[in-house]
Each structure stands twice: as structure tokens, then as C-alpha cells.
Structure 1
Amino acid sequence: MDQQMDIYVNEEGPFGYSGKRKSLAKSSENIYESLKSNRTGPALSVAEDVKKSSCRAAAVCLGVLCLLLLTGLITLVCLFIKGNSEWEMKMVLLHNSFTNLTQERDQLQTSFTNLTKGRDQLQTSFTNLTQERDQFQKRVEDMANEIIDFRKKLQDQYNKQGWVYFSGSFYHVSSTKKSWQGSRDDCVQKGADLVIINSREEQEFMRRFPKPRWIGLTDRETEGRWKWVDGTLLSQSYWILSEPNGHMLRDEDCAEISNHLFNSWNDDLCNSEKFWICEMTSLL
């Protein structure tokens, strides 16, 4: 208070009023600036530090974000390039597969075409063969009918000459008597030979001729070894009980059918004169 009063008094004094007032004003301004600087100096410093820290943090975050974006971009580019390469590889593989499948399809189409042609040719050949078969079968049937007709005519002709047909052969029974060799010679002159009995059915057929008749069986070459006139050895025989016995009593080397029994063969002297039976094998 005393200073203020002194200052005021000095301002109010008549001497040096303006100079003292100016100096007082300057002093007051200096004091205000000093107080102001003392009050705001530390606050401004802290604010500037905070602002700088925030800028640094923002810059760091921005840098990190940029780095992350760059990393992500590079990763995306790498993935895109890798995916594009894999896609291109798949496209190449698919193209190759498509090309191979196209070639296989063309080959299969060609094979199918060839098989179709072959099938058509086979069908044509089969049709032709069927027609030829039918024609051949018709010719065979015609020939068979002709053979039957010819056989009937031949049988009729042979029947008129005294021949009898049975199971593929014609048989002629003589009306005169001759020796075994004379009988055979007569059969040969007729284009036949003495009968050869090869089956039970033929033996049964011979029973229709009950009189003793020469057959084409002899053992003149080797005693006891009976052979047919065609050179085959006797296998199935129909001898009468105790026959043949020519080697025991006399030289009976020729065979005859002597009676109507089923087992009716007998051996006798070849010079004996008997009826005989000729057999001529039919070619029809």
C-alpha cells in the first residue's frame, strides 16, 4: 500500500509527471510479463511435449499400418501369382486332358465306324451264307428225293431180278447149288460177294431163308482162324452148339447157315454143293 501510494503520489506530483508515469507503466508491463511467463511457461512446455508424443505415436501407428498394408499387399500379390500359376497349370492340364479325350473320342469314333462297317459286312456275308445255305439245303433235299426215287427204282429193278434190300445192302438168294468157291464166283460176277454178317439184325434177317446156304466165312488159310471174304477176322459168331468141329472129324473149312434157329452156323466141306446168298452193298 505504501508503494502504491508513493507511486500514485509521484504520478500526481507536479514535477516529472509524464516520465515517472511512463517508467511506472513499463515497470508494470515488465512485472506482468514476468508473472505471465512464470505462469504459462511450464504449461506450454508440457503441452508441446504431449503434442510431440502424440505426433510420434501417430507417425509410428501410421508407419505400422503402412507396413501391414504393404505386407498384406505383397501377400495378396504372391497369393494371386501363386493362384494364377496354379490356375494356369490346371488349365494346361485340363487342356491336355481335353485334347487326349478328344483324340480318344476320335479313335473310338473311328473304331466304331470300322466296327459298324465290319458288322454290316458280316451281316451281308451272313445273309449271303443264309441264302446259300437255303439253296444248298434245297439242293440237298432235291438230291435226297432224287436218291430216294432212284433207290426205289433200283430196288424195284433189283427186286425184279431177285434181289432183296435190307439195311443198306441187297441180297440175292440162289436158286441152284454150287460149291463154296463156285457160289462166290457167281456173286462176284453179279458185282457182289458172299454175304458177310456183321450184326444181330442181319443174322435175324438171314433166318428168313431156312435152307442151308453158303455165307462168306472160311478158315481155309489157317485152320481155326475164321475170316470173312473181305479179309476181316470173325468177331461175333452165331455157331450151332458144338460147331465148328471140322478140325475134329474132317476138313470142313467153309461156313453155312443151316437152319432157321438164331444160332445157325455150321462148318462143312467147301466142295459140297449148296444154295448161297450174295450181298451187294448199296452206294445209296
Structure 2
Amino acid sequence: MDQLLDVYVNVEGPSGHNSKWKRKRGSSDTIYENEDKVHAVEPNSPAVRGAGNVKSCRAVAVCLALLCLLLLAGLITLVFLFIQAKSEWKMEMVKLHNNLTSERNKLQMSYMNLSEEREQLQMSFSNLSEEQDQLQKRFEDITNERNELEKRLLALRSYGWIYFSSSLYYISSSKKSWQQSRADCLQKGADLVIINSHEEQEFIQTFKKLIWIGLTDMESEGKWKWVDGTPLTTSYWDRNEPNGVPDRDEDCAEIKKYDSEQSWNDESCGLERFWICEKLLFQ
């Protein structure tokens, strides 16, 4: 071609620079190589492989950096989790210690309470043992007293005494005046009977005799008193009694009727009647 054609071909060499192919005027096409003698680069040439290795190294470095960052992040996470777990463990240990301390205190308190209860039970047992001994002694004393009482009652019964409602009664087999009757009772360690209850009144009536009782108004007319000095409160006088007689003093009381509850009568103390003595069993 007659025209001047400049043909440029870009070729990337190992250094990365571009080389130019020039075409000048002339009758024939003449191609001159550049002064740097750039050779055509084949795909599997060492230059291409070197460039690939550099890129691979960069990729590996980036991967290693990312891996290091991931490892660092994982390590930081592990350290954080370890610190958190250690803190929670410490809290759990403190809580467990507090619970154990509380349970220990409760156990100590329970032990102290049990010790106090044991001491109280021992004291109660000792007291019960003492009470048992006292009751045993009391039982023995009562048994002995009963035996002595039975012996005494047998002995008194042989002398004509009768037991009724915690008292002993003696019924005479002869008659005497009120003063003589009382003197006989006093000689026996007793006195004429004092009637304090309806039951005692009925008991004395069972003897069915005219009996002197320990009631008189010798000191003051109309003021009846028992032989122990106590005033009369409950009486069992017969109808229209006591009435007295103008020609004689009727200062002593007798049981005249034995078939009626209202059986008392005032009579002259010099008349002779049966009498009944009374004394307390443990007098």
C-alpha cells in the first residue's frame, strides 16, 4: 500500500508496558520490532504464571487476615463468655453459700430447740419420776392409813361405835338425864350428837328410840345452841315445838318420833332418855 499506515498493537509484557508495532511507507510492508525486543507472550509462559501467583498470594493474605479477624473475634467472644460464666458461677457460689449458711443456721436453731426440748423432757421425766415416787409413797401411806382405820373401826365396833359419813356414833343401851348422857360422851372422847344434814337426821331416826341430842337453850331461853356453841340454823321440830311448860324448864332437845322427819321435842333435862354420842373419825 502506498499510503502510510501506522499500525499499533498493544502487547502487555512482563513489566506491564505497551509496545508499539510500526508500519511505514514503502512499496512493501516492513515491520520493525521495537528496540526492547518485545516477544509475544504465551498463555503458559512463566510471566503469566508469576502474575497468577502474586494474585493468589494476595488472596491468601486477605483470607488469612479475615481468618485472623474471625479468630480474634472468636477469642474475644470466648473471653467474654468466660468472664460472664465466671461471674455467674461466682453469683451461684455466693447464692449457694448463703443458702448453705441459712440452712446451717436453721439446723443449729433446730438443734438448739431440740436440745432445749430434750432438757425439758428430761426435767419432765425427772419430775414425773419424783411425782411417781411421791404417789407411790402416798399410796403406801394411804394403804397403811386404811389398814389402821380398818383396825380402829373393828376395835371401835366392838365397843358399840358405828361409822357413818366420816363420823363415829355410839348408841347407849341405858337411859340417863341429858347432863349425865353428855358426861358419858365426853368421857368417851365425844359429845352429844350434832345434826347437820337431812341424811344425818334420817340416820339417827333408824335407831327408833327416844334419844337425847346435843341441843339446848340453857344459857338463854329460846336461843337454841349445839353443844359446840354454834347456833341452830336447820331444825326438825315437831309441830308446835319447842313450846315449853310454865311449871318446868324444857331446855334440852330430844328425838321423840322416829317415823316422821319433824321429830324434835323440847323436854326437861332431868328426864332419862337414851343418848347418842358423836365424834369425828380422825379427831
Q: State the TM-score, normalizing by the size of structure 2.
A: 0.63
Q: Residues of 2 paired with 1:111 and 1:208: CA distance?
A: 67
Deviation at 1:108, TM superposition (A): 4.1
Deviates more, 1:120-129 or 1:93-102: 120-129
Q: What residue is the counterpart of 1:283 in the other structure? A: 282
Partner SS state of residue 246, structure 1: coil
Partner SS state of residue 206, structure 1: helix
Does 2:257 align with 1:259?
A: yes
Percent sequence identity is 47
Q: 2:197 aligns with which of 196, 199, 202?
A: 199
Deviation at 1:152, TM superposition (A): 0.9
Q: What residue is the counterpart of 1:171 in the other structure? A: 170
Q: 2:89 aligns with which of 87, 90, 103?
A: 87
Q: Residues of 2 paired with 1:164 and 1:27: CA distance?
A: 178
Deviation at 1:143, TM superposition (A): 3.6
Q: Residues of 1 paired with 2:282 and 2:187: CA distance?
A: 18
Q: Residues of 1 paired with 2:132 and 2:245: CA distance?
A: 65
Q: Residues of 1 paired with 2:134 and 2:280: CA distance?
A: 33
Q: Is the CA contact (8 Å cut-off) linking 2:175 and 2:272 kept in structure 1?
A: no
Query: How many residue pairs get matched?
Result: 239
Unaligned runs of 5+ in 1: 5-23, 37-47
Alignment of 1:38-117 (within 5 A): 70=72, 73-102=75-104, 104-105=106-107, 108-109=110-111, 112=114
Higher RCO by CA contacts (8 Å cutoff, separation 6 or greater): 1
Q: Residues of 1 paired with 2:130 and 2:163: CA distance?
A: 41
Q: State the TM-score, normalizing by the size of structure 1.
A: 0.63
Deviation at 1:94, TM superposition (A): 1.4
Q: Residues of 2 paired with 1:2 and 1:205: CA distance?
A: 186
Q: Is the CA contact (8 Å cut-off) linking 1:246 and 1:252 kept in structure 2?
A: yes
**Cα distance change, pair 71–231 in 1 and its aligned pair in 2 (3 A):** farther
**Cα distance change, pair 113–78 in 1 and its aligned pair in 2 (3 A):** same
Measured against aligned partners, the alpha-carbon deviations of 1:166-189 in whole angstroms (never above 9, x if no partner) come to 4431223262322x3443233223
Q: Residues of 1 paired with 2:208 and 2:175: CA distance?
A: 15
Unaligned runs of 5+ in 2: 5-27, 41-50
Q: Residues of 2 paired with 1:249 and 1:70: CA distance?
A: 146
Partner SS state of residue 137, structure 1: helix
Deviation at 1:258, TM superposition (A): 1.5
Q: Is the CA contact (8 Å cut-off) linking 2:176 and 2:271 kept in structure 1?
A: no
Q: Is the CA contact (8 Å cut-off) linking 1:194 and 1:215 kept in structure 2?
A: yes
Q: Is the CA contact (8 Å cut-off) linking 1:194 and 1:229 kept in structure 2?
A: yes
Alignment of 1:127-206 (within 5 A): 130=132, 133-134=135-136, 136-156=138-158, 158-159=159-160, 163-167=161-165, 168-173=167-172, 175-178=174-177, 180-206=178-204
Q: Residues of 1 paired with 2:67 and 2:246: CA distance?
A: 141
Q: Residues of 1 paired with 2:269 and 2:180: CA distance?
A: 10
Q: What residue is the counterpart of 2:32 in the other structure? A: 28
Partner SS state of residue 174, structure 2: coil
Q: Is the CA contact (8 Å cut-off) linking 1:174 and 1:277 kept in structure 2?
A: no
**Cα distance change, pair 65–250 in 1 and its aligned pair in 2 (3 A):** farther
Bigger helix share: 1
Does 2:257 align with 1:268?
A: no
Q: Residues of 2 paired with 1:96 and 1:250: CA distance?
A: 106
What RMSD in Å do the two structures reach over aligned CA positions? Answer: 4.4
In structure 2, give the amino acid aligned to 1:97: N
